[in-house]
Structures are given as structure tokens and as C-alpha cells.
């Protein structure tokens, strides 16, 4: 049987990634971080010298790379570059500014999004898990609009910058806020993840701590039919 899907969207720093992961663990579900795939694709494009702004070049890379991500336990992301025989572990590299600052260039291409979305659906279907929390920007609207649980997680820009700055060392709060605003501005041109689509539950974590945010997600899951 197909896994139960919990779809969670939201902007950077909303708590989406860490809260989704913790909620998935409590539910006994896997977690698919779709942003990690966009990041890995940007990393691979930078590594191979592909033009990130050229949709055909990114599509060619998508046809020739291999991507793998763990759905349980500690997250591990690996990529086999075209022509390479061994996988590269990119778990840490995809979080670096070099990738964060460029990722919106690969995620802007509609055909690239379609291909990745097919890949996400295949990963979930083949997971063999009872349920999967899948998080990103367009999961509630495009990837899994029929999911029984759909959540949009938000927080004020100030709170989001604070949380991100806490995760990254050696970067000022102002720089983080500027980066988040710039990335959200580019990303919202492509997908609207600031306003909940009909039927999507809004969870605002501005005034919630980590534990309360996890509980808010669990409450939505338990209220689902």
C-alpha cells in the first residue's frame, strides 16, 4: 500500500525542516527534504560547469546524474556525477553559501521541477514506509495536492532570520536576514509558499518553540480523517 503522506511547505527558517524531521520520527514516518534535491542539483551543476540558467543544460544533467537521500535516521545526500563511478557525499556541501546563493537558478526551470517532482513521487512510492513527511515549497499544491495532511508553516521574517543565524556560525543576523529575503523573493516568483492554498492548514511558528511546533504538526495529522 502507498505510504500516508504529510505535505509541508514553507519559507526558509520557518522551522519546516527541523520540525518536519522531528514530527516524522514521532509518527514513525520517513522524511523527504525536497530542498536537498534542488541543492544537490545546484551543487552538481556548479561542479560540472553546467549553465544553471539554461534549462536544457540542467535537464541534461538530471538525465545523467544519480541522486540518493536517506528517508530515516540522520540525513545523508549523495550524488553520482555524470561519468563518475563513485558517489560523492554532499550532505554538508549543499548547506554552504556557495550552493544556497545559487539554488534558485536551477529551481526556476519548469521542466526541471516536473522531473524532480516525478523523482520525489517515485522515492515516496518505493520507500516501503508506512508514511512519509515530504517538505518543500510546492508539496501541498503541486507534488502531493491530494495528501490527507497538508500544512503551510510560516514565521515572521525576523524570527526566521534569528533561527537561521543560530544554525550558521560566523554569519551575522543581518546577513542571514538579507540572504533569506533575497532567496524568498526569487523563489516566490516561481511558487507561492507564503499563502495557504484552499484546504491547507496554516501553522505559524513565530510564537511557538520547537516542541510546540512539533506538537502543532502532530495535532494536524491526528485531526485528519
Q: If binding is defined by CB under 6 A, does position 34 make contact with ligand C5P?
A: yes
Integer-rounded Cα radius of gyration of the chain: 17
> Cβ contacts of residue 90 below 8 Å, gap of 6+?
40, 43, 77, 78, 79
By beta-carbon proximity to ligand C5P, the closer residue of 138 and 217 is 138
Query: Residue 223: exposed, middle, or buried by beta-carbon count in 10 A (0-12, 13-18, 19+)?
Result: exposed
CB of 120 to ligand C5P, least distance (A): 8
Nearest to 149 by CA among 44, 79, 75, 219: 219
Nearest to 103 by CA among 36, 188, 14, 153: 36
Q: If binding is defined by CB under 6 A, does position 138 make contact with ligand C5P?
A: yes
Query: Residue 134: exposed, middle, or buried by beta-carbon count in 10 A (0-12, 13-18, 19+)?
Result: buried
C-alpha cell at 69: 537521500
Q: Within positions 44 to 103, which residues make up the interface with ligand C5P, using CB under 6 A?
A: 103
By beta-carbon proximity to ligand C5P, the closer residue of 94 and 220 is 94
Contact between 61 and 45 under an 8 Å Cβ cutoff? The reply is yes
Which region among 22-30, 65-73, 130-138, 162-170 touches ligand C5P (by CB under 6 A)?
A: 130-138
CB of 187 to ligand C5P, least distance (A): 5
By beta-carbon proximity to ligand C5P, the closer residue of 189 and 202 is 189
* 3, 15, 30, 35: which one binds ligand C5P (CB under 6 A): 35
* 5, 6, 12, 62: which one binds ligand C5P (CB under 6 A): 12
Residues annotated in a binding site: 10-18
Residues annotated in a binding site for ATP: 10-18
* Residues engaged in binding ligand C5P (CB under 6 A): 12, 34-35, 38-39, 103-104, 107, 136-139, 183, 187
Amino acid at each position: 500500500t502507498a505510504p500516508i503522506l504529510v505535505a509541508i511547505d514553507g519559507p526558509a527558517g520557518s522551522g519546516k525542516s527541523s520540525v518536519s524531521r522531528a514530527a516524522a520520527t514521532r509518527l514513525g514516518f520517513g522524511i523527504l527534504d525536497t530542498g536537498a534535491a534542488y541543492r544537490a542539483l545546484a551543487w552538481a551543476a556548479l561542479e560540472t560547469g553546467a549553465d544553471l540558467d539554461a534549462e536544457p543544460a540542467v535537464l541534461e544533467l538530471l538525465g545523467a546524474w544519480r541522486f540518493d537521500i536517506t528517508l530515516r535516521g540522520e540525513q545523508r545526500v549523495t550524488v553520482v556525477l555524470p561519468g563518475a563511478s563513485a558517489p560523492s557525499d554532499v550532505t554538508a556541501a549543499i548547506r554552504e553559501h556557495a550552493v544556497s546563493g545559487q539554488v534558485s537558478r536551477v529551481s526556476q526551470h519548469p521542466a526541471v521541477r516536473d522531473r524532480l517532482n516525478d523523482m520525489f513521487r517515485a522515492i515516496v512510492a518505493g520507500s516501503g514506509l508506512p508514511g512519509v513527511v515530504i517538505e518543500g515549497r510546492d508539496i501541498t499544491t503541486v507534488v502531493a495536492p491530494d495528501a490527507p495532511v497538508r500544512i503551510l508553516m510560516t514565521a515572521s521574517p525576523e524570527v526566521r532570520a534569528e533561527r537561521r543565524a543560530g544554525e550558521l556560525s560566523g554569519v551575522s543576523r543581518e546577513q542571514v536576514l538579507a540572504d533569506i529575503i533575497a532567496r524568498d523573493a526569487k523563489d516566490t516568483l516561481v511558487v507561492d509558499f507564503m499563502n495557504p492554498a484552499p484546504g491547507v492548514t496554516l501553522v505559524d511558528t513565530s510564537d511557538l518553540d520547537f516542541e510546540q511546533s512539533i506538537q502543532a504538526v502532530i495535532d494536524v495529522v491526528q485531526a485528519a480523517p
